[in-house]
Amino acid sequence: MDEFMAAAIAQAQQGLAEGGIPIGSVLVKDDKIVGQGHNKRVQDGDPVTHAEIDCLRNAGRIGNYKGTTLYSTLMPCYLCAGAVVQFGIKKVIAAESANFAGAKDFMEAHGVEVIDLNMYECKRMMGDFIEKNPSLWNEDIGE
């Protein structure tokens, strides 16, 4: 596993430790992490603080997103995929999409290269969370 996905997983674990949903994200530019975050919907009481949104907020104004890669422990949803497309991020690496298919087709239709690593560790972490917290998970995905 590369250092960037390891950092995203660490963010997901931090979110879980805080009582939130275990999804983490990292934004990389020029082989350096410029932003990282985790889902804080529960912690902040904010319905749009998904991991990728928190990551982009923490990156701040970096000017141009050309050459950036967004790592996420779960395939981004339409909200986060919209931010990816809006800012022109051209590559997304997701640890898994078994627990949530997300908006892969949407991103690809807008010229984003999407790689699904199908990582057992992340599938297990998210699957365990969903099994223990189905109502919270359904709230997160809008069901």
Residues annotated catalytic, as ranges: 52
- C-alpha 140/C-alpha 134 separation (Å) is 10
- Given a contact cutoff of 8 angstroms between Cβ atoms, the answer to whether 54 and 40 are in contact is yes
User: Which three-class secondary structure state does DSSP give residue 42?
Assistant: helix
**The tokens of 30 are what?**
């020029």
Bridge-based pairing state of the strands 32-38 and 68-72: unpaired
DSSP string of 9-39? HHHHHHHHHTTS---EEEEEETTEEEEEEE-
Cα–Cα distance measured from residue 38 to residue 15, given in angstroms and rounded to the nearest whole number: 6
